Amino acid sequence: MAMWCPRVFLLPSTIVVFLFFVSQILVQSTHASAEGFTRPPPGNIIFSEHERSKSEPQQVHISLAGSDHMRVTWVTEDHKAQSTVEYDTAPGQYTTRIRGEHTSYTYFSYSSGKIHHVKIGPLEPATTYYYRCGASGPEFSFKTPPSTFPIEFAVVGDLGQTDWTKSTLEHVESKDYDVFLLPGDLSYADSQQPLWDSFGRLVEPIASRRPWMVTEGNHEIEIHPVVFPQGFKAYNTRWLMPYEESGSESNLYYSFDVAGGSIHIIMLGSYTEFDSDSAQYKWLQQDLAKIDRKMTPWVFVLLHAPWYNTNMAHQGEGESMRKAMEELLYGARVDIVFAGHVHAYERFTRIYDNEADSCGPVYVTIGDGGNREGLAMSYKEPASPLSMFREASFGHGRLRVLNHTHMHWSWHRNDDANSVVADEVWLESLSASGTCMGQPTSSLKDEL
């Protein structure tokens, strides 16, 4: 397989000057080592080039698309390249061939390559498949998630494409997992479309092996008042998620099941309408109403702008969405809510409406994947009793669901070996709580 060759990407001079100014401020503060290690400064953007021919696939990534299907996505510079995937369970022998769809987009003077989306299956669970895209180029392989417990998720937010991103991804890859979850801010292309291609090449070795399930962050918006008023053009075209499969009308919010339907994961959109008369709100109501907690003991939610946050960065940005949707998640007894946006790690206790509530979700901010903007170092003081752990370091999370009742969450900062866990907690499914499942929502808070 061709190797990607990172180099420092040359940005417009005004942006370089701005980034240099910001980095100088942050370098001074990020060299503090209160816990005995040195926090890294913001990282340079690395630009990943490729050595493949124009007809060969690049930026290959996969995503779950229904209970036993996988969507394979890639880009070719050659617009005549086939949108086909050949695959089977033995390397080099492709007995199944499926044709999919393709698209492309323009963004001012930029024209994308041919973007291929091919949905393959039905696939067996916990099985390794070998595949080739467009009958050309290298062979890839992926493993499907298991249909039963245990199952493990890697959770990474605000990823970007810097040296810290590479460090985070190396840590993720050092220990096996089943599904990659990303609560927004992928490439930090910020309208510089070649950086979307670079990001696709950077993550391909990982994103072609395990499904990447993402939702959008503010860096995916790329809105232009006249030319691109809706925004999300690159994101929606390149990172097609199973929204149609989950009854959503928008790629900006959707849901999917894993572990044979025992876990339901909802990806919400912080940057599309969420008020009670919005399409997203109505879809969420319907999606939550379909869940049978006897069949689906776990429900997770991912979104970008955190609803609870004691970092000084991005204070209050998730508040209007919290006010609009928190009651829905609480009523459905969602187990855990992951957010990004704030470039640090923070774990809260179970909360509903700003108070500890044993029937509310645990809230986790995991926006520390490695973006170019650096870490969010300042916290509100004194610490809120709702905040159980907070630290500004790059890292990633692991969510291992052992069975119908128990799962283990851990956060791994990049400074440590993966065996070293900076924060961890065992969590019990709310579906196993007679108190939380057996009484009407309105009476619960009165008793607590």
Tokens of 331: 């009523």
Q: How far is the CB of 366 from Fe ion (least distance, A)?
A: 12
Residue 386 is encoded by which pair of tokens? 């709702």
Structure tokens at 266: 């909802």
Residue nearest to Fe ion (CB): 341
In 156-200, the DSSP E strands lie at: 179-182
Q: Is residue 121 within 8 Å of residue 66, measured between CB atoms?
A: yes
DSSP assignment letter at 139: -
Bond preceding residue 225 cis, omega within 30 of 0: no
**Smallest distance, Fe ion to C-beta of residue 181, A:** 16
Do β-strands 263-267 and 254-258 pair in parallel, antiparallel, or remain unpaired?
Answer: antiparallel
Compare residues 186 and 299 and give the one whose CB is closer to Fe ion: 186
Q: Would you mind telling me the total number of residues written for the chain in this entry?
A: 448
Residue 219 a catalytic site member: no
What's the min distance (Å) between Cβ of 216 and Fe ion?
10
CB atoms within 10 A of CB 45: 27
Please state at what angle helix 279-289 crosses helix 319-331, rounded to 10 degrees: 20
Helix (H) or strand (E) holding 257: strand 254-258
58/270 with CB nearer Fe ion: 270
Question: CA–CA separation, 75 vs 197, rounded Å?
Answer: 8
- Residue ranges binding Fe ion (CB under 5 A): 185, 217-218, 341
Nearer to Fe ion, 159 or 444 (CB): 159
383 sits in the region (left: phi over 0; alpha: psi -120 to 50; else beta) called beta
The smaller minimum CB distance to Fe ion, of residues 185 and 368, is found at 185
**In this complex, which beta carbon is closest to Fe ion, that of residue 200 or of residue 340?**
340
* Active-site position among 314, 341, 343, 396: 314
Which two structure tokens, joined as six digits, stand for 104? 């492309």
Q: How remote is the C-alpha of 155 from its chain's centroid?
A: 7
C-beta of 168: minimal distance to Fe ion in Å? Answer: 16
Q: Least distance from C-beta 317 to Fe ion, angstroms?
A: 9
Angle at CA of residue 238, ends 232 and 240, nearest 5°: 85
393 close to 344: Cβ distance less than 8 angstroms? yes
Task: State the nearest-atom distance from the C-beta of 220 to Fe ion, in Å.
Answer: 9
Contact 263, 151 (CB under 8 A): yes
Residues with catalytic roles: 314
